[in-house]
């Protein structure tokens, strides 16, 4: 299991859990539910924020928040 902030760009992972209630609510309603495929698409300069593709759309999320998203290899 890995943090979303640590995974390599372009590799497909699966959402395991989100370790923050508020963040979880926000991401869940957008469709970032456990079991969904997640890919880090690219990183902004200084590796922060990062752009992820989840459930078919691209989101920009800060590194500090990405650390709370736990993923596993698909």
Partner 1 sequence: MNTTKIKVVLAGNPNSGKSTLFNALTGLRQKVGNYPGITVEKKTGSCSLDDNIKADITDTPGAYSLYPKSIDEKVAQEVIFNKKDKDYPEVTVVVADATNLRRAIFLITQIIDLKMKVVLALNMVDLSLKQGIIIEVRKLSEALNIPVIAINARKQEGIENLKKAIVKANTQEYTHTFFNVKTLFKDIIEQTNLLRNSDNDYGSFLTLCLQDINKDIKLANLSKKYQFIPSRAQAQETIRRYKIIDGVVESCSTEIKVAGNRSFTKWLDDILIHPICGYFIFLGVLFLIFQAIFSWSAYPMDLIDGWFTNLSIWVAATLPTGVFNDLIVKGVLAGLGGIIIFVPQIAFLFAFIAFLEDTGYMARIGFITDKILRGFGLNGRSIIPLLSGAACAIPAIMSARTITSWKERMITIMVTPLMSCSARLPVYTLIIAMIIPAEQSWGPFNLQGLVMMAFYLLGFLAALGTAFILKFILKAQQKGFYIMEMPSYKMPDWRTVIYTIVEKVKVFLFDAGKVIIAISIILWFLSSYAPGNKFEQIEKKWVGKENAEANISSEKLEASYAGMIGKSIEPAIKPLGFDWKIGIALITSFAAREVFVGTMSTIYSVGDNSNIQSIRERLESVQNPDTGKAFFTTAVGISLMLFYAFAMQCMSTLAIVRRETNSWKWPIIQFLYMGGLAYLSSFIAYQILN
Residues within the interface to partner 1 (CB under 8 A): 20-31, 33-34, 41-42, 44-46, 48-49, 51, 55-62, 65
**CB closer to partner 1, 1 vs 35:** 35
Say how far apart CA 41 and CA 4 lie, in whole Å: 12
**CB closer to partner 1, 2 vs 55:** 55
**CB closer to partner 1, 2 vs 68:** 68
Query: Which tokens go with 45?
Result: 């300069």
Least distance CB 19 / partner 1 (angstroms) = 12
Least distance CB 52 / partner 1 (angstroms) = 10
């Amino acid at each position: 299991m890995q943090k979303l902030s640590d995974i390599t760009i372009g590799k497909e992972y699966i959402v395991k859990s989100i370790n923050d209630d508020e963040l979880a609510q926000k991401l869940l309603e957008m469709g970032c539910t456990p079991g969904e495929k997640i890919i880090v698409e690219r990183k902004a300069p200084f590796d922060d924020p990062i752009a992820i593709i989840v459930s078919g759309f691209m989101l920009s999320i800060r590194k500090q928040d990405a650390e709370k998203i736990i993923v596993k290899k698909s």
